[in-house]
Structure 1
Amino acid sequence: MYFNKNIFKMFTLSMLVIFNIAGVHVSKTYADELQNGNWSVEKGDTLSDVSLATGISIETIYSLNPKIDPLTLPIGYELILKQSAEELAKEKATKEKQVMIQEPAAQAEAVVAVKSAEAEVVEAPVEVPVEAPVAPEPVTNVIGTFEATYYTAFDGTQIGITANGTDVRNGETLTPEGYRIIAADPAVLPLNTIVQITTGNGESFTAKVCDTGGAIKGQRIDILVGSLSEAMQLGRTQAVITQVN
């Protein structure tokens, strides 16, 4: 039949406690207590005998000597009795205190580790928005103030083709590029020159020198309009002209 050794030991230990309480023990032969407070087992000694002789409970003796067999104490074996229950409690308290001391240290190490990890975090570079390049404004040079008059290609004196070959027979007053058409003295403003004109009539526009005229000399320009009546209405005015490069 199979027996669990640990259960059997516990059963035997319980029986010894009962015998000890009842004052029953197997042998009345006691060995001498050692000078260091422990007990040297002699023939006939039992845990019950040692307990009665020393006043230490069987449970405490067994807890101090967990490897012994309660029924067969080996002769000459030194039972540890010096550590009393009070000393065991003190030892337990000391161990708990050490654990309490170690825990803050471990926490401090954890904090240091976290701070080190935070220190190692590298912030992502901040992207600086790149502004779109701004087209440079056209450079303008003031040419001067001119006398401005108005003319039409439909007054019976014009053929409808300007000096630089622009066709205005369909009533066009603008070049294919969208510039106003003016006549000027080529010695002052050569053909195909692009200029900015601001007139005393409140007009401001970009024009191209497309034409010339027998009466258009020096600081004078003629501005093409769509009809003779419009030319007569606008009459004469002053115009500030700047060259557009």
Structure 2
Amino acid sequence: MTFDTHIVLAQLPAIVRGAGVTIAIWIFGTMAAALLGFFVAVARRYSGLALDRTLGVIVGILRGTPFLIQIFLLYYGGPLIGLSLDPVPAGLLGLSIYGAAYFSEIFRSGFAAVPKGHIEAAECVGLSQAQIIRRILLPEMTMLVLPPSVNMAVILMKETAILSIITVPELTLTVSAIGSQQYAFVESLFLLALFYWALVEITGKVGHLAETKLSRFRFFNV
């Protein structure tokens, strides 16, 4: 056996297409997950006890079950309830819902970490709840939730590999097929690992840069 990367690189156009699908699903899935998670966190904070507990149970189930099982249930079990999706929409929806459960807890913790004195002061000057969220909670929460949010984005990036199981044409499925066809399993897996490592490093650098830029808006409880 020899380690020959040229066998895999000869299929570069297919690899680039698969990488594009992976990155697109990851970016849109993470954005949707963060947005949905934010609304869940706000609903749990300002809704009644019944809705808070209901959402808490749903979040607990999503966080307590593997993403692999969830995507199987969505893709293969969805038609039983009239939800029949193609692989890419199913993968995007599944990744968004799975990530939203974690993002909701990140945002909920961020809300809870904002000093109560700041909120009470805003209430004293007559700000509405919407104004308090926009002018007090969001700015102060941003710095608190940025590091765990970047970490969650990295986790979702790596979870995109699971979507190959439902035949989403992302990089893992593409490279695995090339490895099987060319009998270059080690080379293909090495290339796949290198791609994810590079993407993780880039995401970490971008997150660190964003944290540095936003550090001037940091709030202290003094």
> Is the TM-score greater than 0.5?
no
Name the structure with the higher strand share.
1
User: Structure 2 length normalisation: TM-score?
Assistant: 0.18
User: Structure 1 length normalisation: TM-score?
Assistant: 0.17
Name the structure with the higher helix share.
2
